[in-house]
Chains A and B, each alone.
Chain A
């Protein structure tokens, strides 16, 4: 079982560039999430998708868009990257009603 797979693992962008972070899970989970983690801080929720076809804003959605492409895939897009978006991004998934999120290994993004 691969669990939650994130690509790419590392990325450097110039200010103003766009990119999409990919996330896929093979556990048939209903809900998927995008978090960001800055140095010395906990994880902050960007967007989440409770089920296929639905997405909602989390704590820090500005500057991001998401797409729940199907049950397996949930992508995060930065339309115009800013240095403040330099962070480590984690995707997670969860089966509704069950305990525990499964997290991916993260994407380390640097915007210069």
Chain B
């Protein structure tokens, strides 16, 4: 399973755009990049997934360069409620099981 590296923590203020970068140098050809969000006392929640270039949904955007060795999760105009831990994972969709490995994630703290 490809290992990912992301910052341990980030601070921001309400209304700002937050970009969290993740490196995955050993990503395999069939791997997708997936991001999860976890609030205190809750299970992680899937927020976005991509293979290459750019993916956007109602929550976030995901930018993936051509070499796919890194990716950037972009949260537009964050609010206090975006304070959470964000996990970057690679997912191979390989057969049954599809075991995902969660690192320690990035603790995002949004302040007024």
Contact = CB atoms under 8 A, between A and B. Distances in A.
B interface bracket (residues with beta carbon within 8 Å of A) = 20 to 34
A50 B95 contact: yes
Contacts of A62: none
Interface in A25-80: 30-31, 33, 35, 40-45, 48, 50-51, 54, 56, 58-59
B96 A54 contact: yes
B53 to A, nearest CB: 16
A94 B97 CA distance: 9
A40 B99 CA distance: 21
Interface string B94-112: 0111111111110000000
A20 interface: no
- Secondary structure of the A side of the interface? loop
Interface residues of A, number: 31
Given A42-B104, A106-B43, A100 B49 contact: yes
B95 A99 contact: no
B49 A103 contact: no
A58 B103 contact: no
Interface in A85-104: 90, 92, 94, 96-97, 99-104
B41 interface: yes
A106 B43 CA distance: 6
Contacts of B103: 42
B42 A100 contact: no
Contact of A92 (B41, B43, B101, B105): B43
5 tightest A-B CB contacts, nearest first: A50-B96, A103-B43, A100-B46, A42-B102, A43-B102
Given A44-B102, A100-B49, 4 more contacts: A30-B96, A42-B87, A94-B98, A103-B45
